[in-house]
Structure 1
Amino acid sequence: MAGWEGSNRRQTLPPNWAEIRSRILKRDGGRCQWVRGDTQRKCLRPATDVDHRISSADGGTDDDSNLQSLCGWHHRWKSSHEGGQASGAARRAHKQAAPKPVHPGLVADRRELEPPPF
């Protein structure tokens, strides 16, 4: 799915998001604030998006201090990475919750597998 397609995230943004977005882009000089892990340098490409540093699902807020301007590439990378982590966590939780089937040859009492006598 591309962009906002299939997402309900837009409905969870504050009603004045356009004003907040404009303010953050202006605060950051219209430049991407992504910091490279290896060099600790900012990307500084032209920013097109405003993103939450800590997602609301993880307790982040819509305060200016939790918002950053990102270029489209870094915003897509960050969103994809977060989505992959959430998907993996859901898979692991489902796997842990599902009971493991017992092979018939490993059942201690084989009578449990036999139909009751008539």
Structure 2
Amino acid sequence: MNRDAWRCQHVRYDTGELCGEPARHCDHIVPASEGGSDAPANLRALCDWHVLRKDAADAGRARRRATAERWQPARNRRTHPGEVR
């Protein structure tokens, strides 16, 4: 947080500039669930609004990943004797 001067480091897509609002959250750029580390290069300060958007996007990706894994065909599944091949 000190490195980022307690200012939001989200880059605006429309202008390419930093948000710059006061930051209260330390965010993982690449979430730990997706292989991100706790290294300083993977951390940034975010304001309340941007951390809520980022968390919602991360949760959506996790839901889609879980759904996709659930619907994968079972490998090496034994077929029931009555199933037609």
Is 1:40 aligned to residue 16 of structure 2? yes
Q: Which of 41, 46, 58 is the equivalent residue of 1:70?
A: 46
Greater share of residues in helix: 1
Counterpart Cα distance in 1 of 2:54 and 2:42: 15
Q: Which of 30, 40, 44 is the equivalent residue of 1:54?
A: 30
Counterpart Cα distance in 2 of 1:66 and 1:43: 18
Counterpart Cα distance in 2 of 1:56 and 1:86: 12
Deviation at 1:38, TM superposition (A): 2.7
**Number of matched residues?**
76
Counterpart Cα distance in 2 of 1:58 and 1:92: 15
Q: State the partner residue of 1:88.
A: 64
Runs (5+) with no aligned partner, structure 1: 1-24, 99-111, 113-118
- Secondary structure at the aligned position of 1:51 is classed as strand
The AA in structure 2 aligned to 1:51 is D
Q: Can you list the C-alpha shifts for 1:55-84, whole angstroms capped at 9, x where unaligned? A: 112221111111100001111110110110
**TM-score (structure 1 length as normaliser):** 0.58
The AA in structure 1 aligned to 2:51 is H
Quick one: higher RCO (CA 8 Å, sep 6+), 1 or 2? 2
Counterpart Cα distance in 1 of 2:64 and 2:42: 25
Deviation at 1:95, TM superposition (A): 2.2
Identity %: 39
Q: State the partner residue of 1:109.
A: none
Counterpart Cα distance in 1 of 2:71 and 2:56: 22
Q: State the partner residue of 1:15.
A: none
**RMSD between superposed Cα atoms in Å:** 1.8
